[in-house]
Structure 1
Amino acid sequence: MAHISIDDGNLIVEIEGLDKLWALKSRLTIPLAHVRGATVDPGIVKESKGLRAPGTHFPGLITAGTFHVDGERVFWDVRDPAKAVVIQLTDERYARLVVQVSDPHANVALVENALPN
């Protein structure tokens, strides 16, 4: 699971618990100027993940780490698809972050309300 926060003009995604091990990351910091938006999308787990490098993928259990699909790099940390949030990025290492959070709708609102108009 991940914890999303906003601090000093940055989106902070903290990977929690054993997911740090599976994802091979503990924290992502993205300038808000590079965040295009966020959505709740439980159906995204059905999409192709592409090539895992590095990361963990056990279908139906966990998808965590860096995946390459259609020429894009996507960061995943999802166990429960019902709690998946997709954050679209621009001019960053990752094109998207797909993370599981405790309250998807509240986290999407947090991100969307923090974006510059």
Structure 2
Amino acid sequence: MALLRIDGDDLVVVIEGLNKLWSFKGSLTIPLANVRGATADPGIATDPKGVRAPGSHVPGLITAGTFHQDGERVFWDVRDASKAVVVELADERYARLVLQVDDPRAAVALVENALAQKEVC
């Protein structure tokens, strides 16, 4: 599972527990200027993942790490698809982050509110 927080002008994603091992990442820091938005999307778990490199994928159990598909790099950390959130990025290493969070609605609201605040400033 991942924890999302806003730290100044950055979105910080912290990967928890053994998912650090499976995903080969402990955290990601993305400038809010490069975050396009976030949506809750439990259906994304059934989408094709692409080529895993590096990462872990056991269908129905875990998808974690970096996956390459259609010329894009996507970071996954999902065990429970019902709690999946997709964060769309621009001008970053990853085109999007697909993350399992404790409360998808709260995570989407956190990102969207931070983006709205950024636009006002």
For Structure 1 versus Structure 2, the TM-score category normalised by the shorter chain is over 0.9
Q: Which runs of 5+ in 1 are unaligned?
A: none
The question of 1:27 aligning with 2:22 is answered: no
The question of 1:17 aligning with 2:17 is answered: yes
Partner of 1:83 in structure 2?
83
Task: Give the structure with the higher percent helix.
Answer: 2
For residues 100-111 of structure 1, the aligned pairs below 5 Å read 100-111=100-111
Task: Tell me the number of residue pairs that the alignment of Structure 1 and Structure 2 aligns.
Answer: 117
Q: Which runs of 5+ in 2 are unaligned?
A: none
**Hey, what's the Cα distance between the residues in 2 that align with 1:53 and 1:69?**
11
Could you say what the CA RMSD is over the residues aligned between the two structures, in angstroms? 0.4
Shift of 1:8: 1.2
Shift of 1:73: 0.1
Shift of 1:107: 0.4
Shift of 1:3: 0.2
Q: CA offsets per residue over residues 11-40 of structure 1, 9 Å max, x none? A: 000000000000000000000000000000
Partner of 2:59 in structure 1?
59
Sequence identity, in percent?
Answer: 71
For residues 43-58 of structure 1, the aligned pairs below 5 Å read 43-58=43-58
**Hey, what's the Cα distance between the residues in 2 that align with 1:8 and 1:107?**
17
**Hey, what's the Cα distance between the residues in 1 that align with 2:66 and 2:3?**
18
